[in-house]
A and B are shown apart, each in its own frame.
Chain A
């Protein structure tokens, strides 16, 4: 149980460091090296603690339902690919056919708004993060499906925990995108009185 708790904290720390590194375009090299060092420590810690992190019951269930679990994961893979393609398409449409042309037109009409430009930059940045996070998540899921859950149930569960964390990041990205869209709509509604 203690080891499981430690694994959980290591995974959280690793995810946090990876998240920081992803968004650390503006950070100094020294700070980046320090974060990378912590990420490495957390990663090593996570691997060390991962041994026997699950109960015998869980281990037995994984071995017993190995095929069913893998089928379920494959279904998730397929469904996620569908959601990613559609959501990514909508984000791309909103950015290239709505937000960007509107900002260009606002500049032309001398109505440029700092808030809208900032929103566009944030939207483009988060969209890229969403795409990259999805690749990382799918790679994790692919590795998970490739693992032999009959032979290595502990390793399988450990990987499953990592994939869950990556999926959580996807949920956060989708929420961020939705909030940015709402903010954009609010800012455009504010333009009504100015034109």
Chain B
């Protein structure tokens, strides 16, 4: 009779441990996920993450990326000649042109009163 009772106790004890283990694992997962999200936000990575909903690249962008030429890396070693410098400048111009393609990046007018539909205080009647 007592052996049966002991076995039952052991089972209950084991079941309780299993529940504790489950809760502890969930808590650890929640804490580590929370910490990761805080780091992700505070480091600023969140603002560069374009896989977020609403920030996904447009179809045109994806097509443009697929059409990219082979990447050029200037060799760190070797002799330098005028022809090599010429090639360097030519390849550099590709990047410069790509930067210049962005007309007025972070244009200040985008956040102007007019653009946001707020009447300008200076032009208002006194």
Interface residues of A (CB under 8 A from B): 1, 4, 54-55, 57-58, 61-62, 65, 68-69, 72-74, 76, 78, 80-88, 90, 93-94, 97-98, 101-102, 104-106, 108-109, 111, 131-132, 134-135, 138-139, 157, 160, 163-164, 167-168, 170-171, 174, 178, 181, 185, 188-189, 191-192, 195
How many A-B Cβ pairs are below 8 Å? Answer: 138
**Shortest 3 CB-CB distances between A and B: which pairs?**
A135-B44, A170-B106, A138-B47
Interface residues of B (CB under 8 A from A): 44, 47-48, 50, 54-55, 57, 61, 71-82, 85-86, 88-89, 91-92, 95-96, 98-100, 102, 105-108, 110-111, 113, 115-119, 121, 124
Are A80 and B118 in contact, CB atoms less than 8 angstroms apart? no
Q: Cβ of B102: which chain A residues have Cβ within 8 Å of it?
A: 83, 86-87
Given A65-B118, A69-B117, A85-B50, 10 other A-B contacts at CB below 8 A?
A: A82-B50, A94-B95, A97-B72, A101-B74, A132-B44, A171-B108, A181-B96, A185-B96, A195-B80, A195-B81
Are A109 and B80 in contact, CB atoms less than 8 angstroms apart? yes
Q: Cβ of B75: which chain A residues have Cβ within 8 Å of it?
A: 101, 105
Q: Cβ of B50: which chain A residues have Cβ within 8 Å of it?
A: 81-82, 85
Minimal beta-carbon separation of A158 from chain B (angstroms): 13
Are B117 and A65 in contact, CB atoms less than 8 angstroms apart? yes
For the complex, give the distance between the alpha carbons of A83 and B117 in Å: 24
Are B108 and A167 in contact, CB atoms less than 8 angstroms apart? yes
Q: Which residue of B is nearest A195, CB measured?
A: B80
Q: Which residue of A is nearest B91, CB measured?
A: A98
Pick from B100, B111, B115: contact of A163, CB under 8 Å: B111
Contact status of A76 and B111, CB under 8 A, knowing A58-B121, A101-B76 = yes
